Amino acid sequence: MSSKLVFLLSLCLTAPLLRAADFKPNLGPDVPTIAVTCEDVSLVLRRSSQWTPARFDFRDEPMSTERSAYGTVFLFPEIGFIGTNHLENEPEELQSLSFIVDGEPIGNPGPELTGKTFRFLRDSRIRDFRLQNEWEIRNDRIYETVTITSAKDVPLKLVYPFMHAWKPSVSAYLAGSDPNPELSESGELHDGESIARKFFINAPVDWLAVYEPESGQFAVSRLLTFPEETSHSSKIWNVPGAYRKQYLTVFANQTVPKGFSGTWKMVTGFGQATSAEWKEKATTLAGLLLKDSESKL
């Protein structure tokens, strides 16, 4: 990725966000958060960020932080960001929300939901785009699906279909490319000035893993599907004290054509390991995530 684009991302992502805890979107239950637990994996949904995730937990340990946003964000020229938690320009217009536990729709969920499986369907509009998000928890994995449909030709600076705000205590990352091993990359993450607020990876890798030493746990996120006519890039932004934030970037300085409809899907799995063995275990899990997903197609 060019230094100019890195600078643009850094500049735009430091823009003030309106994160009022009492913000209420146009749809949704009258509770501030919904904590969903399915066996070893938990997901917190947050009303103030327009019913998008606020945190991922594994075995009762937070793997990510609530001090950021998840979901999908668009960056429009001359306007700025519109999407999850970016209320400084305009909020999304929610069209529908559906909460499903163990295959049963929940009409008015309370602050906690528990089951073996969970699905959350979210339909919204952002200007000339229809945005469909789905989060699903099953078999201790989180599946995320994003479908973007465009009614017009729309120039963009970028889109983030997926964002994961891993805890600021995350100490290392590992990224892999199945067809292009030369794109694989690993490194340490810390709060030192030499790497503060820097981006890492910036390449079209197939999966990305992080290690959290306080819990001795790791997470692996694998991109399963994406529109063939699009390109993508993954990155981690190291912001000490805030997060080690993972992004998938698409439509960088491109125009989304009228009539476009494309779907991206990602799965995130978790594991436990020492700092000496986590890379081997994460690589094994990355392979299993692909194998298990292919078997269900």
User: CA torsion 157→162→167→172, rounded to 10°?
Assistant: -90
pLDDT attached to residue 16: 40
Task: Give the start-to-end residue ranges of the domains of the chain.
Answer: 3-295
Report the distance separating Cα 162 and Cα 235, nearest Å. Answer: 11
Q: Which CATH number fits domain 3-295: 3.40.30.10, 2.40.340.10, 3.20.20.80, 2.70.98.10?
A: 2.70.98.10
Query: Number of helices (H) and strands (E), helices first, in the chain?
Result: 2, 23
Q: What type of residue is 64?
A: S
Lowest mean pLDDT among 98-102, 116-120, 178-182, 227-231: 178-182
Angle at alpha carbon of residue 108, lines to 31 and 119, rounded to 5°: 95
Q: How far is CA 261 from CA 9, 227, 228, 251, in A?
A: 25, 9, 11, 13
Question: Using the 8-state DSSP alphabet, how is residue 277 labeled?
Answer: T
User: What pTM did the predictor assign?
Assistant: 0.93
Local structure of 24: helix, strand or coil: coil
pLDDT tens-digit series, residues 141-185: 999 999 999 999 999 999 999 999 999 999 999 999 998 888 899
